[in-house]
Chain A
Amino acid sequence: MASLSTEQIDQVIDYLANRNLDGDFREELVDQICCELEAALVAGQAFNEAWSDMQSRWPPARIKKLNNSIQFIKFKPMLIKITAAAAALAGLIWLLPGLPAESETIVYAEKNESTEVQIKDESAAISNTTDEMQNNLRELQMRNMRFTGAIRQDILKPRLSPLKGVALVDAHSGFGIRKHPISGEMLMHNGIDLVAPLGTPVFATADGVVVFAGPNGANGIQVRINHQGGYTTVYNHLQSHENLIVGQPIFEGAQIAKVGSTGASTGPHLHYEVRKNDEAINPC
């Protein structure tokens, strides 16, 4: 780790002196330029060479521009405050002729007490209404956020068919309660069954990441992919998968497996499931 000598650091400080730089920023720029010079020295450059390189990289015009933009950001809040104060003052002056004329003031003075009470009541009522309106607005904003959130989530639901030429609605066995083909019981069917010949390619229905690939009991050879928005797609009874590794990113439309009849299956088909936050939903 090369380190500049005190004289060399002073040279940098001199280079940045008398440029009307913001004190804080000048310090920072000294460090930045020193770091650059040190990096050049580490790379084997001589100091003089590194110095002239630095000068061409940091011409006075560039330093000035950068300083101006920092100054602008630093003083912008103050500028806004001044502008606001000026606007408020202008507003007051504009309102002045609208104040009650002298005669009206006298009338007000006579009715002073009752008017004061009335005004107090009214201002309390107004502030109540304002509070109520603000609460309503907040509630509306919350609902709006929830609503747009819901839409966004829905947009992310995988909607493609995992098999080319077989639509989701053409499922041999659909989503919901049905008679189980092996046990004969009435059971919930968490996905849909798409019938296709052995070896038919299976495609990922959305971009995602592989979270499981391999044999999984009655599901046979299974692939599970996690997607955005809390969605997971599941592909069961596969003949084989395309050497997927857990954690592997998968693009929509990529071939991930081949249709098979592994696990509890009565013939070649693909059991396809879409889960939202780990709960099966209708893929159609």
Chain B
Amino acid sequence: MNHNASNFDVLDFDVYCGMFSKELVKGTLRIVVLRLLEREGRMYGYQMNKRAKELTDGNYQLSEGALYPLLQKMVQQGLVTTETEQANGRPRKYYSITEKGLEAARQKRLEFEHFAFTMRRLLDLQTK
């Protein structure tokens, strides 16, 4: 697959592995991260990627190039908070979801559900 990196978008330069194009992963990364945090309570960056891979048999992979800037943004927006703890002899930064983040997760999931139904209709995928 040919991934043309654009220099203008800060989140755009990383080439994605996994099954899906980087546009699809990028467009869904926020809701995936929110949902993971909602389910697992508290996670660190590496763990999010690992968990997403496990849940999708490796089909959906978050690249660090998109994940860490997104997490930084979500901290600023008050959707997640961070705390640092020692683990395996080094500091580890954990992320947890806030009330605001939970509300965002709920809304984003509803929106995505509607989007998935709409796309199925639009792309004639409704009958197998």
A and B held together in a complex: yes
Contacts of B11 in A (CB 8 A): 69
- B6 interface residue (CB < 8 Å to A): no
Question: Which of A22-30, A237-245, A266-274 faces chain B?
Answer: A22-30
B40 to chain A, nearest CB (A): 16
Contacts of A251 in B (CB 8 A): 126-128
Taken residue by residue from 56 to 85, chain A's Cβ proximity to chain B (1 for < 8 Å, 0 otherwise) reads as 000000100110111011100100000000
Determine which of A4, A36, A66 lies in contact with B89 in the assembled complex, contact meaning CB atoms within 8 Å: A4
Interface residues of B in 53-110 (CB under 8 A from A): 64-65, 68-69, 72-73, 76, 84, 87-93
Contacts of B73 in A (CB 8 A): 73
The 4 A-B residue pairs whose C-beta atoms are closest, nearest first, are A69-B10, A35-B46, A252-B126, A253-B127
CA distance A73 to B65 in the complex (A): 13
Chain B interface, number of residues (Cβ within 8 angstroms): 29
- A259 interface residue (CB < 8 Å to B): no
Interface of A is mostly: helix
CB nearest to A62 among chain B residues: B65
Inter-chain contact A65/B65, CB cutoff 8 Å: yes
Inter-chain contact B84/A27, CB cutoff 8 Å: yes
The answer to whether A207 and B76 touch (CB under 8 A), given A3-B89, A31-B92, A69-B11, is no
Contacts of A25 in B (CB 8 A): 68, 72
Inter-chain contact B90/A228, CB cutoff 8 Å: no
The answer to whether A66 and B68 touch (CB under 8 A), given A4-B88, A31-B92, is yes
CB nearest to A67 among chain B residues: B68
Inter-chain contact B10/A207, CB cutoff 8 Å: no
Taken residue by residue from 242 to 258, chain A's Cβ proximity to chain B (1 for < 8 Å, 0 otherwise) reads as 00000000011110000
Inter-chain contact B114/A28, CB cutoff 8 Å: no
Q: What band does the interface of chain A fall in when counting residues whose beta carbon is under 8 Å from B?
A: 20 to 34
A163 to chain B, nearest CB (A): 16
Inter-chain contact A73/B76, CB cutoff 8 Å: yes
A34 to chain B, nearest CB (A): 6
The answer to whether A31 and B44 touch (CB under 8 A), given A65-B65, A207-B120, A207-B126, is yes
Q: List 11 A-B contacts (CB under 8 A).
A: A4-B89, A25-B68, A28-B68, A31-B45, A31-B90, A31-B92, A62-B65, A65-B13, A65-B65, A70-B69, A251-B126
- B117 interface residue (CB < 8 Å to A): yes
CB nearest to A69 among chain B residues: B10
Contacts of A38 in B (CB 8 A): 88
Inter-chain contact A70/B89, CB cutoff 8 Å: no
Contacts of B68 in A (CB 8 A): 25, 28-29, 66, 70
Determine which of B13, B65, B91 lies in contact with A27 in the assembled complex, contact meaning CB atoms within 8 Å: B91
Inter-chain contact B44/A72, CB cutoff 8 Å: no
Inter-chain contact B93/A69, CB cutoff 8 Å: no
Inter-chain contact A31/B72, CB cutoff 8 Å: no
Which of A24, A25, A31 has the most CB atoms of chain B within a 10 A radius of its CB? A31
CB nearest to A31 among chain B residues: B92
A230 to chain B, nearest CB (A): 13
Determine which of B46, B64, B84, B127 lies in contact with A254 in the assembled complex, contact meaning CB atoms within 8 Å: B127
Determine which of A24, A66, A252 lies in contact with B65 in the assembled complex, contact meaning CB atoms within 8 Å: A66
CB nearest to B128 among chain A residues: A251
Inter-chain contact A34/B64, CB cutoff 8 Å: no
B15 to chain A, nearest CB (A): 10
- A9 interface residue (CB < 8 Å to B): yes
B96 to chain A, nearest CB (A): 15
A110 to chain B, nearest CB (A): 54
CA distance A70 to B90 in the complex (A): 21
A254 to chain B, nearest CB (A): 7
B105 to chain A, nearest CB (A): 19
A274 to chain B, nearest CB (A): 17
B10 to chain A, nearest CB (A): 4
Interface residues of A in 139-167 (CB under 8 A from B): 152, 156
